[in-house]
Amino acid sequence: MMRSSRYILVGIIFGITLYKAEAVSWFRIYEMFHFQSFHMFGIIASAIVLGVLVVQIIRRTHMHSTDGKEIVIPPKDRSIPRYLIGGFIFGAGWALAGVCPGPMFILMGSGYTVFVVFLLAAMTGTFAYGKLRPKLPH
Partner 1 sequence: MVPDFLIQLRDLISQPWPWWVAGPMIVLIMFILLSFGKEFGMSANLRIMCAADGADDMSDFFKFDWKSQGWNLMVALGAVFGGYLAAHYFSGPESYVHISEKAYNSLQELPYFAERLQSPDSVPLVPDFYSWEALFTWRGLLIICGGGFLVGFGARYAGGCTSGHAISGLSALQFGSLIAVIGFFLGGLAVTYFIIPLIF
Interactions with partner 1, residue window 54-113 (CB under 8 A) = 54-55, 58, 63, 65-67, 69, 71, 73-80, 82-102, 104-113
Among 60, 61, 117, 135, binds partner 1 (CB under 8 A): 117
- What DSSP string describes 54-97? HHHHHHHTT-B-TTSSBP--PPPP--SHHHHHHHHHHHHHHHHH
Q: Which of residues 37-56 bind partner 1 (CB under 8 A)?
A: 37-48, 50-52, 54-55
Residue 62 or 80: the one with the smaller Cβ distance to partner 1 is 80
With contact defined as beta carbons under 8 Å apart, do 33 and 95 qualify?
yes
Say whether residue 135 binds partner 1 (CB under 8 A).
Answer: no
Angle between helices 101-110 and 4-20 (to 10 degrees): 90
CA–CA dist 42, 29 (Å, integer)? 13
Sign of CA dihedral 52, 58, 62, 65: negative
Among 4, 61, 62, 135, binds partner 1 (CB under 8 A): 4
Sign of CA dihedral 25, 29, 45, 8: positive
Say whether residue 19 binds partner 1 (CB under 8 A).
Answer: yes
Number of amino acids touching partner 1 (CB under 8 A): 114
Among 61, 62, 128, 135, binds partner 1 (CB under 8 A): 128
CA–CA dist 116, 119 (Å, integer)? 5
Among 10, 60, 61, 62, binds partner 1 (CB under 8 A): 10
Least Å distance between CB 57 and partner 1? 9
